[in-house]
Amino acid sequence: MNKVLVPPLKSQGIKTKLVPWIKDALTWDKQGIWIEPFMGTGVVGFNIVAPQARFSDTNPHLIAFYKALQSRKITPAIAKNFLEEEGSMMFKKGGEHYYEIRTRFNEHHEPLDFLFLNRSCFNGMIRFNGKGAFNVPWGHKPARFAQAYITKITNQISWVQQAMQNSDWEFCVQEFSSAIEGANNQDFIYCDPPYIDRHTDYFNGWDEKSEKALFSLLSSTQARFLLSTWHSNKYRVNAYVTSLWSKFAVLTKEHFYHVGASEGNRNAIQEALIANYPVAVTEVQKSEQLVLLEQQAMYRA
């Protein structure tokens, strides 16, 4: 019952290992709508399995993919046949075939091509250039789509579709402001925006103006909310947590993201959950935060 199910799309910063922690921090009776203005892969909301949900993102390709699953334009069998065929071609042609699919996707935006690129590109990144073209290089794994890997992906498609069939879920391309503004006191908003001062490859960018706009909207919402962000690492503290979000309850947990091209660039951070309702902050968490602040002061000195 506590197993975290992984969706078919990957991304850097996916919350798979944090889902149990996020679920434990939820206080919601599921009577309203689950609202995710930054759905990304959907891993948190898909594991909450709310009866009603509105998943939105400004990246139209994420939304198109999940709409294709919802309409059953993509089924496990269709995905299996597609990945077997295209995977076989990549095994023979290597990066040449990957880049052919990338060019095709950037011209026609087919959801299955997006799935193929997402699961065979470098480091599971989702990144677009200023013209909106997917520009992540090949992951240099010609045999990426082995049968076991394809089965894993099709099983992920299957469970997401099962969850969709039993729920009233909406998927839409939408700015976060539009997603949040209509929420009422029965709804729950989960926000996982790009991490300010850490992520630079969001579909439409993310900066101080965006962070402050999100803060303003969540400060005035009638709904309960949880916000995922980063609290600190051994070098510095997220200034926006202390300057903006500190008016709310803040939970922290050490987490390791497998991002960066080399192991030397992959460091643990303190993940933060910010809530506009009471949550229990343990003495261990308070102690960990004090230790981090001391380490950061020593580093700056």
What is the pLDDT averaged over residues 155-168?
A: 94
Is residue 191 predicted with pLDDT exceeding 60? yes
Question: What is the band of 182 on the pLDDT scale with cuts at 50, 70, 90?
Answer: confident
What is the pLDDT averaged over residues 215-241?
A: 92
Work out whether the CA dihedral 103, 104, 110, 114 comes out positive or negative: negative
| pTM, 2 dp | 0.88
Q: What is the pLDDT of residue 284?
A: 46
Which CATH number is 69-158 given? Answer: 1.10.1020.10
pLDDT tens readout for residues 256-271: 655 544 444 456 788 9
Q: What is the pLDDT of residue 262?
A: 46
Question: What is the band of 166 on the pLDDT scale with cuts at 50, 70, 90?
Answer: confident
What are the distances in angstroms from CA 290 to CA 232, 244, 295, 298, 300? 11, 19, 9, 13, 16
Q: What is the pLDDT of residue 232?
A: 87
Q: What is the pLDDT of residue 144?
A: 97
Residues 293 and 237 sit within 8 Å (Cβ to Cβ): yes
Quote the radius of gyration of the chain (alpha carbons, Å). 20
The rounded distance, in Å, linking the Cα atoms of 255 and 269 is 6
The encoded tokens of residue 228 equal 């995922």
Which CATH number is 16-57+174-300 given? Answer: 3.40.50.150
Ramachandran area for residue 143 (φ above 0: left; ψ -120 to 50: alpha; else beta): alpha
Domain coordinates of the chain in residue numbers? 16-57+174-300, 69-158
Q: What is the pLDDT of residue 296?
A: 46
Pick the range with the lowest mean pLDDT from 11-15, 81-85, 89-93, 97-101.
Answer: 11-15
Is residue 68 predicted with pLDDT exceeding 60? yes
Q: What is the pLDDT of residue 234?
A: 79
The rounded distance, in Å, linking the Cα atoms of 90 and 167 is 37
The secondary structure of the chain, three-state, reads CCCCCCCCCCCCCCCHHHHHHHHHHCCCCCCCCEEECCCCCCHHHHHHCCCEEEEEECCHHHHHHHHHHHCCCCCHHHHHHHHHHHHHHHHHHCHHHHHHHHHHHHHHCCHHHHHHHHHHEHHHCCCECCCCCECCCECCCCCCCCHHHHHHHHHHHHHHHHHHHCCEEEEEECCHHHHHHCCCCCCEEEECCCCCCCCCCCCCCCCHHHHHHHHHHHHHCCCEEEEEEEEECCCCECHHHHHCHHHCEEEEEEEECCCCCCHHHCCEEEEEEEECCCCCCCHHHHHHHHHHHHHHHHHHC
pLDDT tens readout for residues 102-132: 999 999 999 999 999 999 999 989 999 989 9
Q: What is the pLDDT of residue 237?
A: 87
Q: What is the pLDDT of residue 175?
A: 95
